[in-house]
Amino acid sequence: MSDYLQSLSHLRAGLDSGIFSARELTQYYLDRVSRFDGALNAFITKTPERALAAADEADQRLAAGERAPLLGIPYAHKDIFCTAGVRTTCASKMLGDWVAPYDATVHQKLNAAGAVLLGKTNMDEFAMGSSNENSAFGAVKNPWDHAAVPGGSSGGSAAAVAARLVPVATGTDTGGSIRQPAAYCGITGIKPTYGRVSRFGMIAYASSLDQGGVLAGSAEDCALMLQAMAGHDPRDSTSANQPVPDYVTELDQPLAGLRVGVPRQWFTAGLDSVVAARIETAIAELESMGAQRVDIDLPDAELALAAYYLIAPAEASSNLSRFDGVRFGYRCAEPRDLNDLYERSRSEGFGEEVQRRILIGTYALSAGYYDAFYGRAQKARRQIAANFEAAFRDCDVIAGPVAPTVAFDLGAHMSDPATMYLEDIYTIPVNLAGLPGMSVPVGFSGSRPVGMQLIGSPFTEGRLLAVAHQYQQRTDWHQQIPAAYREGAA
Amino acid sequence: MSLNPSQLKHVAHLSRIALEESKIPALVQDLNAILAFAEQLKDGRLDDLAPMAHPLDQQQPLRADVVSETNQRDILLKGAPATEQGLFLVPKVIE
């Protein structure tokens, strides 16, 4: 099996030619999870029995001659996607033992595709965080350096893929939650255009920003997974009714003449010099492949940060009002009256960061403050979208950093939430404008990986994946495996 | 635009979050550090812009007015912390 582990297309070849069965492949990854996850804490819930049953089903379909891209391929879900019969916690005490009564559309689609769910991954509670330290199930470690955070909020998915505990995983990205952990863990991640992947059954944080996507070993693997996840869903009224292109075919579109925009304002004092150097080298590689570098202006990153940290909490305060101690999950002991039940269930059930964001959001929406905060933030959002539109008149894709530094140490920013928020300065504008973005590994600073962000205009996921894929044909950063996890992996 | 302790208590009540008195000073400080970002929003360029609620300015689609969901009361009640006779159970509201 070891010759077939390096990509989904290799796994596909091994399964289709009968070199190993889906059960054997599933058992291989389950064994890795058992062996390594004690140190990483990437999983909240493991589902080995269900996984083996799903693998057996995939083997029957294979034996009947069926061939499909994800048939028998193991994966993990960020624990924000509802799965009937398997608990969905959102890494919160509030939903600690809650079992969804239905499947998320993404889960239905992956089930139908024959993919095999190994378990649900750790995350920042309700996807609020940039370090995966805000989890009721404990922090996740970065497989490259156990003293570092894996990033967040999809930190468990990123760590699991980087340590090769799963070949591919789902994630969600509201302000950088796929791209930043992908960068910190040295893997490839894609956040599609807002509305490209259904949000039905994906527990809401900030509904106008949330978008599901993929964390994987390569752009090609992202393409295969996204193909199965994307598409219009009548059950999500914000889902885009646009045809889904064939992302795998699009991987080979030529880069010759492609204009790569490099934002001047992003390569300034706030960016770590080693991170900047690695990204410059990667951009030079794209130029050597025929792309044309164009220096562009992309101002207002601080304005975007201000808008995001009002809009996202405002939407969160509304979305999370449903957790009332009555209809879902956690309820405090011996409530005095109904108000006490609400207040204590919520203050005991939600972690500190979630409570902070609910309070900020409620304030931003409250009488007398709405215009100054929420209304003004929505105007800023218009400005950010206009800045991107202007930039895309001069270029086809934008390349820059994902985050200002490589992964920081566990505990480094926990006492200062505002500093933690600065981590998202290059990723947030993309969510505000609803654009597709990727993180592609482009080297290391010491032991910690560096990611390059690629940003496209709406619905150009195929082009982003192509740029990343062709870069990965010439480099091997995406194939690096952390030393502690190399044994038995490929 | 900053928040004082009494405003915080009001917002906490609106949010239905119980606050321990001892945690209020630190929380006020954290929240004001976050609200400090909002100074950026005073930017005069924003005055005449239309607020943007949907990133792609997509219209809200309408669907046909037909029944799509069936009654799933028992399944939905399973996720609740306390139920009785098919109802959510809460402390007595009216004496």
Task: Provide the shortest C-alpha distance from residue B61 to chain A (in Å).
Answer: 6
Task: Answer whether A421 sits within 8 Å of B18, measured CB to CB.
Answer: no
Give yes or no: A177 in active site. Answer: yes
Q: Name the residue with tokens 């900047």.
A: A276
Structure tokens at A440: 């592609």
Residue A488 contacts B where some CB pair is shorter than 8 Å:
no
Active-site position among A21, A130, A177, A198: A177
H or E segment to which residue A437 belongs:
strand A437-445
Distance CA(A44)–CA(B95), nearest Å, equals 43
Confidence of residue A462 (pLDDT cuts 50, 70, 90): very high
Tell me the ipTM for this assembly: 0.95
Confidence of residue A425 (pLDDT cuts 50, 70, 90): very high
Strands (E) in A6-160, as ranges, are: 43-46, 74-78, 116-121
Selected residue with higher pLDDT from A169 and A490: A169
Over range A234-243, report the average pLDDT: 93
What angle (nearest 5°) sits at the alpha carbon of residue A192, between those of residues A191 and A194? Answer: 110
Give yes or no: A191 in active site. Answer: no
Residue A318 contacts B where some CB pair is shorter than 8 Å:
no
pLDDT tens digits, A377-399: 999 999 999 999 999 999 999 99
Pick from A100, A234, A306: which is nearest to B63 by CB? A234
Distance CA(A92)–CA(A77), nearest Å, equals 16
Task: Answer whether A379 sits within 8 Å of B34, measured CB to CB.
Answer: no
pTM of the full predicted structure? 0.97
Task: Provide the shortest C-alpha distance from residue B86 to chain A (in Å).
Answer: 12
Residues 378-437 of A with CB under 8 A from B: 378-383, 385, 416-418, 421, 431-435
Q: B1-43 has which CATH code?
A: 1.10.20
Q: Would strands A116-121 and A74-78 be described as parallel, antiparallel, or unpaired?
A: parallel
pLDDT exceeds cutoff 70 at B1? no
Exposed/middle/buried for residue A221 (C-beta within 10 Å: 0-12, 13-18, 19+): buried
Number of A:B CB contacts under 8 A?
176
H or E segment to which residue A388 belongs:
helix A376-391
pLDDT exceeds cutoff 70 at A25? yes
Task: Provide the shortest C-alpha distance from residue B69 to chain A (in Å).
Answer: 11
Over range A143-165, report the average pLDDT: 98
Check if the beta carbon of residue A88 is closer than 8 Å to that of residue A100. Answer: yes
Residues of chain B contacting residue A331, judged by C-beta atoms under 8 Å apart: 81-82
Q: Where are the domains of chain A?
A: 2-254+460-485
Residues of chain B contacting residue A367, judged by C-beta atoms under 8 Å apart: none
Task: Answer whether B15 sits within 8 Å of A344, measured CB to CB.
Answer: no
pLDDT tens digits, A405-418: 999 999 999 888 88
User: Considering only alpha carbons, which residue of chain B is nearest residue A320?
Assistant: B15
Residues 254-313 of A with CB under 8 A from B: 302-303, 305-307, 309-310
User: Considering only alpha carbons, which residue of chain B is nearest residue A207?
Assistant: B54
Q: Residue A135: phi, psi to the nearest 5?
A: -120, 135
Class of domain A2-254+460-485: alpha beta
Over range A225-229, report the average pLDDT: 98
Residues 183-202 of A with CB under 8 A from B: 193-195
Residues of chain B contacting residue A347, judged by C-beta atoms under 8 Å apart: 17-19
Task: Answer whether B60 sits within 8 Å of A209, measured CB to CB.
Answer: no
pLDDT tens digits, A56-96: 999 999 999 999 999 999 999 999 999 999 999 999 999 99
| C-alpha pair distances (Å), A34 with each of A31, A45, A65, A237 | 5, 12, 32, 40
Residues of chain A contacting residue B59, judged by C-beta atoms under 8 Å apart: none
Q: Where are the domains of chain B?
A: 1-43
Confidence of residue A328 (pLDDT cuts 50, 70, 90): confident
pLDDT at position A288? 97
